Structures are given as structure tokens and as C-alpha cells.
Structure 1
């Protein structure tokens, strides 16, 4: 059986998209991680529109990956390790619908794997509260403005401060 290259997309909402790029952006088989917006009712939204919480969009990362080198299940594992899946009001200091967690599936297989992984997280006993991460079909993805792309590389000090002050780093370290 050949190990053919199969490129897919994965889209995850994990709160502030600045904090969700780096966890995925360091593995063979990951071709691209783009910060953006999805799920809302405004076409071509701006950051200013999304951050108000009235656009219906969530901040997301969209990952282009080679499934022969990096399976979708591994992306799901990274996603779950970098969020608080019990937070109904956003993520850490970022509050509002635009910062709530979600998995946006691009194929029926991704949907099944996402649902299975969510059940595994629920059964893991790591969390005392219910898992509230949504699972939605992927919809139109809008890349965020250029200054948001690869923020952790462009602004390493600001990025580090954001991760630490938000409570994300401490939470992740306590659960992993």
C-alpha cells in the first residue's frame, strides 16, 4: 500500500488565535497554519468586527496538513491539550462567543473522529465540568489580517506575555 500524500484542512476555535498557531506550527506534515474567522454572518469580517462578538464568527486557526505524515487524530490531541473545553464563555481572559472553542470538520471522517475524541476527553476524568466544545461543519473561512498571521514569530515578547497573563499557560501545564 502506498503512502500517498493527502492534503486536508482542519479548523479549530480555541480562543485567541494568536495562542493557537504555535502548538500546531512545529511538526512535519503541517504545511500551513492560518489565523482567521469562521461561522458568522458577515462576509469578509475584520478583526474589529469579530472582536465585538456580534459577527457570529469565532477566531480560528485553519491548518493545511498531509494526513500521511500527520494524522487528523494527532491534530485533535494537540487541540484538546491547548484549550479549556469546559469554558462556556470563551477561553481564559478572552470572553465572548468569538472566543468559544469548536472543531469545524471538513469531512464526514473528521466529524466522526472529532466526536470520538470529545467523548474520550469527557471520559478521561481530567475535567470536573462538562465538555462544552462545539463540533460544527466547516463553513467559509476568512483569513485574518496579515498582522495576526504568525504572531508568535513576529511579536515573540507580546505573544509570551499574552499566553502567560491570560492564564492559558498555567491551565495547560496543570492538565497535561
Structure 2
């Protein structure tokens, strides 16, 4: 990884739905589905879904901040989740599906806190914003079949994205162009 590239790590519920919005944006080098925030090294999907490891399903994004600044990543992240739901995201319930922003340095922490405050003050949501901002921990890539799931299994991904309630929520809160 070149020095100009940075990492961003976001938990937004099912990681399948968190890859597509970031993937193929200008300045995004790589988006990896994985697990972070827990206590078990190299956890499996089954272990994480058992809610016994403390991990979140997350995406880790390698990006060029000169082309796609961290502030834009934060803006896009907020538009993919229900930041008022402490119990998971949409159809998926449990700790592993909760939302979080994992910062990699103090600048990211400050920008994440500022963006969260801005969202709280915007009045877009009637309930409190509960997404925590946490220090980044070890990130473990998920099994290969989870990587870029939206490309590998388009029909299943699309039906899940809609059926889980995510697409409708995004459309209601952010408009049609963000619900894809």
C-alpha cells in the first residue's frame, strides 16, 4: 500500500450490503468484507454470527484521500445504515450486525465525531444516533465467498438488499439515488 492510501473501517450491518456503495468509486482502491472489534483471532463467519466473539461484520476500505476524502466516506457510510438502531440493522439482529465507525487515527476520530454531531443536529432522524465511534482493532478478512458478494450472487444480493428493509429505509431517508 502506497503512503498516500489510508484505511477506513465501518460496520453497517450485513457486510454484503456495505461493499457496493463504496466499491468502484473514484479513489477507492479496495473494499474488503471482514470482522473487527472482537476477541478471537481469525474468526469464522459462524463464530461471529454466534455473537460470542465480540466482532462486528465490517468493511475495510483502502482509499486515496486526495481523490475520495474521509469526510465523503463518512457521508456515504451514514447513508447506508439506520444509525438509530442499537440492536443490529434491518432484518439482521445481534451484536455482529450493529453499526460502528472504527477510526485509524485521531484525525479520523475527530472527523467521525463531527459528522455524527452534524447528523444528530440535522433533524433527519427523530431518535438518537447510537452508532459508536471506536478505535480500530485487528481486522480479519471474511471467507472468500463473502467478498464482493453483490457481484458474485447478483440476484440473491438484490433480493436481500430489498427484502431486509435496507433499500426502502435508504430511499425514505436519503432519496432514490442512494438506495441502489
Shorter chain as denominator, the TM-score bin is: over 0.9
| Cα distance change on mapping 1:18 and 1:152 into 2, 3 Å | same
CA contact (8 A) 1:103 1:135 kept: yes
Aligned residues: 173
Does residue 111 of the first structure (1) align with residue 109 of the second (2)? yes
State how far apart, in whole Å, the 2-side matches of 1:58 and 1:5 are. 27
Q: Which runs of 5+ in 2 are unaligned?
A: 175-180
Alignment equivalent of 2:123, drawn from 122, 125, 146? 125
Question: C-alpha separation between the residues in 2 aligned to 1:174 and 1:5?
Answer: 39
TM (normalized to structure 1)?
Answer: 0.97
Q: Structure 1, residues 53-92: CA drift from partner, whole Å, max 9, x if none?
A: 1110000000000011110000000000000000010000
Give the 4+ runs in structure 1 shifted more than 4 A: none
Aligned twin of 1:47:
45
| TM-score using structure 2 length | 0.95
- Distance of 2:102 and 2:117 partners within structure 1: 16
RMSD (Å) for aligned C-alpha atoms: 1.0
Name stretches of at least 5 consecutive residues in structure 1 with no aligned partner. Answer: none
Of the candidates 6, 10, 13, which is equivalent to residue 11 of structure 2?
13
